[in-house]
Structure 1
Amino acid sequence: MITIYDIAKRANVSPATVSRVLNGYPDVSQKTREKVQRITAELGFQPNAAARGLATKRSWTIGVFFQDHVNSGFKHPFLHDVLSSFKDVMGGRGYDLLFFANHTLEGAQDSFAGRARHRNVDGVLLLGVPRTEPTLDTLVGAGIPCMSVDLDLFGPRAGYICSDNKGGANLAMNFLAERGHRRIAFIGDRFSTKPGHDRLLGYQESLHRHGLVFHNQWISYGDFTEDGGKSAMKQMLELDERPTAVFCAGDMMAIGAMGAIRESGLEPGRDISVIGFDDIAYAKYLNLTTIAQHKEELGSQAAVALLKLIEDPSQSPPVLTIGTELVVRGTVQPV
């Protein structure tokens, strides 16, 4: 049976140095780290997880609370990419992910903090969790390192990361206004998410900046789903004064809106311009003009920030914003 003493002897370092390399401590030179890692791989050594946890006082597990109100789960085109890059960074540092179920058995620990403590996770990622979740306060006050995506979580050990949602909305609205659109509608989010709220703010601020008319009837809600976007667009198509363009706060809603436009005998872009938000994989195949989020960067930066909170208790929780960009395709035309 191979032990750390065998690795230490082969690498000509102390067993303590081998232990520090295997447990991810940063205070080992890169040259020594690479040598120990190479010899560990050559000898086929597999550290015992329980022993590793005792040595470091960590479980080497990150708890992930992943909620999706439309129940698409890991198939969700935006959340999947964020999670994938988060997993890659955490896995590279020796951490496994534990995904918590959305529902627990009656009588079980049902708060975020209680479930995280029960599983002894070293940190927590929140993804898709709404602001209205009642147990967020207990998690923030529990002292567990936390990072959230698209949820403005504040606490002594809790930070968050999001895209520049308001800035992205401004990009979309500027693009439409520059192409002569004066009657611009908005299909957004009724679930009180930070992205939905910020994109609506960006829409409203842009209307004011460009001197455009605000119409209550030109604001509808699609719940970030294709069906929701389709239903919202159908309502707008029935208006006496319908918009010439619609800004959708999510690509799935934009896809639904395009479907409704086609079903009415019109053509997206030619008759009514449509712009989305996210730049999911489907968007390019549908020639959808949209605002791109850098999904992989959101996940990887969330992981890096959470690692810093775990490894350094004095680390100040960050508030990070990742820029967005306009992707011009064919669903926006000048009037």
Structure 2
Amino acid sequence: MVSLKDIASECGVSIATVSKALNDHSDIGAETKTRIRKAAKDMGYVPNAAAKSMKTNRTHNIGVLFMDDANSGLTHDFFAGVLESFKREVEREGYDITFISNDRSRPGRASYLEHARYRRFDGVIIANVHFDDPEVVELVKSNIPVVTIDHIYNETTTILSDNVGGMSDLVDFVVQNGHNRIAYIHGAESATTNLRLVTFNRKLEEYGIEVPEEYIKESPYRDTHGAYERTLELLKLRTRPTCIFYPDDYATYGGMRAIAERGLKIPDDISVIGFDGIKVARHIRPRLTTYRQNTEELGTLAAKSLVALIEKPKTTLIQQITVKGWLLEGDTLKKLN
């Protein structure tokens, strides 16, 4: 294995000079840096991660705590996009990522915090978990830098999708197209669900539109069967809605199947609205009217925020950052006016 001493001998400089050149210290000239780095590359030098960790007190490894009740894992359209851009950005900063196991069936398993400390993570990103889980709260309250996606703790920086703005834009668009019998099949209880549901009710109240209690249903996120069942319930009502909002684009297709099985057409007989803006929704006909969340920006900002907390803890503020998306007009909303 090539050592710093070997490179120093090859270049005719001290070991300290080689170390400074490879770590981009400012007191080494550009020409010397280039010569030493070329020699290191040609000789096949690979930094010793353990030695670097001891020197910097960092492992350059970041933990990812991600849990999906639907067991969709990294096929989850929204979070896959967020985590991909997060991974790309932290790797650009020289960090690797490791997923924290959430399999609680294993005997003798470590808690999330114990796992993070055992792996010596420099920081952790938390997304799509049960945020009131005592193990999650324990990790958040530890001294490990943490960034959360779409959930606010006082102790952490949070990157938020604009759920309020997104729902507001969708309601405005639907009402302006003449609808006043609007139902909402929302996701399971969570901070995100609450923001969207409250915004939905508040906006319709501002328009003077009453929402019957039977127009509000619950179905898990990304659950096509649940959305299918709740849609059938809405279609059986004496006065059925002219438009149905769904918790996410994926679930929407379960609702669309129920509508088709009842012999109804979208949007001629009933309109549907999604949320997330998954790419496939732009290719399936009819194209879904939905709100596109900016997964690229969410993941990139989460990565930059976490790296800043790790590398500059004394000058980095804990903050909440909201990332705006945009409305995608499709073919699933009928213009009634």
Taking structure 2 as the reference length, the TM-score comes to 0.90
Q: 1:189 to 1:33 in 2, by over 3 A?
A: farther
Superposed, 1:154-169 pairs within 5 Å as 154-155=154-155, 158-169=156-167
Does the CA-based 8 Å contact 1:244-1:273 persist in structure 2? yes
What does residue 151 of structure 2 align with?
A: 151
Give the letter for the 2:81 counterpart.
D
Does the CA-based 8 Å contact 1:150-1:160 persist in structure 2? yes
Is the counterpart of residue 199 in structure 1 residue 196 in structure 2? Answer: yes
Is the counterpart of residue 209 in structure 1 residue 209 in structure 2? Answer: no
CA deviations 1:163-216 (Å, max 9, x no partner) are: 1001100011000000000011111112x2222221112211111111111211
Taking structure 1 as the reference length, the TM-score comes to 0.90
Does the CA-based 8 Å contact 1:288-1:329 persist in structure 2? yes
Distance 1:100 1:206 in 2: 39
What does residue 321 of structure 2 align with?
A: 320
What does residue 88 of structure 2 align with?
A: 88
Residue 122 of structure 1 deviates from its aligned partner by 0.6
Give the letter for the 2:47 counterpart.
P
Distance 2:42 2:232 in 1: 63
Superposed, 1:1-335 pairs within 5 Å as 1-4=1-4, 10=11, 14-21=17-24, 35=34, 40-104=40-104, 105-110=106-111, 112-155=112-155, 158-190=156-188, 192-224=189-221, 225-286=223-284, 287-314=287-314, 315-335=316-336
Secondary structure at the aligned position of 1:316 is classed as: coil
Distance 2:32 2:246 in 1: 49
User: Any stretches of 5+ residues in structure 1 without a counterpart?
Assistant: none
Q: 1:28 to 1:83 in 2, by over 3 A?
A: farther
Residue 31 of structure 1 deviates from its aligned partner by 6.2
Residue 318 of structure 1 deviates from its aligned partner by 2.2
Q: Which 10-residue stretch deviates more, 27-36 or 168-177?
A: 27-36
Q: 1:37 to 1:128 in 2, by over 3 A?
A: farther
Does the CA-based 8 Å contact 1:187-1:253 persist in structure 2? no
Percent of matched pairs sharing the same residue = 33
Residue 108 of structure 1 deviates from its aligned partner by 3.0
Residue 130 of structure 1 deviates from its aligned partner by 2.2
Distance 2:239 2:27 in 1: 68
Residue 242 of structure 1 deviates from its aligned partner by 0.7
User: Any stretches of 5+ residues in structure 2 without a counterpart?
Assistant: none
Secondary structure at the aligned position of 2:245 is classed as: strand
Secondary structure at the aligned position of 1:172 is classed as: helix
Which structure's CA Rg is the greater one?
2
Distance 2:264 2:37 in 1: 62
* Cα-Cα RMSD: 2.4
Secondary structure at the aligned position of 2:275 is classed as: strand
Q: Which 10-residue stretch deviates more, 174-183 or 4-13?
A: 4-13
CA deviations 1:76-98 (Å, max 9, x no partner) are: 11111111111111111221111
Q: 1:102 to 1:33 in 2, by over 3 A?
A: farther
CA deviations 1:238-274 (Å, max 9, x no partner) are: 1111100011121112121111111111112121111
Distance 1:2 1:189 in 2: 56
Does the CA-based 8 Å contact 1:149-1:161 persist in structure 2? yes
Does the CA-based 8 Å contact 2:22-2:33 persist in structure 1? no
Distance 2:296 2:32 in 1: 27
